[in-house]
Amino acid sequence: MQADLKGQLEVLLEEERQVYLVLEGLIQDEEGCVREQNMEGLMMILQEKQKHISRQEKLLEGWGGLSRAMGVKEGREGPAFWAALSRRVDQEGFHDLVERVNGIRDLAASLLEKEQRVQKELEFHLEAMRAKLVQMKQGRQALKGYARTQGG
């Protein structure tokens, strides 16, 4: 049971790490599209990101299944999960799993920071685009007003 459980957890951890690495690349691409104001490219990247986020959600279901198999109601974020796991895996294996989870948490936190930075930049660009649209609208209104005064 110990080796099988540890093996299942290692597979989940590696798949999760891979999802985050792909998301990291997509966030970099997203940042480039935002800077270039490439909205079409941005939409494509957001759709691609959603696929990987859905994959991440399925992985969380896998963690939930392992929790239930150990008789634990809470998921990997709860202390009961780790207490149950520590009773089923040797100390070295447990330490290895904890280190891998911590590495994934660090990666996820880093990606969240990058995502927030990209979001702020996107908001800045959207505000600039709104301002341009307002200027264009005002310019059109001025042109229409001028045309009316000229008899056109």
Q: Is residue 50 part of a domain?
A: yes
Q: Is residue 67 part of a domain?
A: yes
Q: Is residue 20 part of a domain?
A: yes
pLDDT of amino acid 135: 75
Number of domains the chain contains: 1
pLDDT of amino acid 129: 65
Q: By residue range, what is the domain housing residue 64? A: 2-114
| Higher-scoring residue by pLDDT: 142, 97 | 97
- Place 151 in a pLDDT band, splitting at 50, 70 and 90: low
**Poorest-confidence range of 39-43, 98-102, 123-127, 142-146?**
142-146
- Place 74 in a pLDDT band, splitting at 50, 70 and 90: confident
Q: Is residue 130 part of a domain?
A: no
pLDDT of amino acid 37: 84
CA 95 to each of CA 6, 32, 88, 112: distance values in angstroms, whole numbers, following the listed order: 11, 38, 12, 26
Helices (H), 37-90: 39-69, 79-88
Q: Is residue 136 part of a domain?
A: no
Q: Is residue 147 part of a domain?
A: no
The single-letter code of the amino acid at 112 is L
- CA pair distance 79, 57, nearest whole angstrom: 21
The single-letter code of the amino acid at 87 is R
Q: Is residue 94 part of a domain?
A: yes
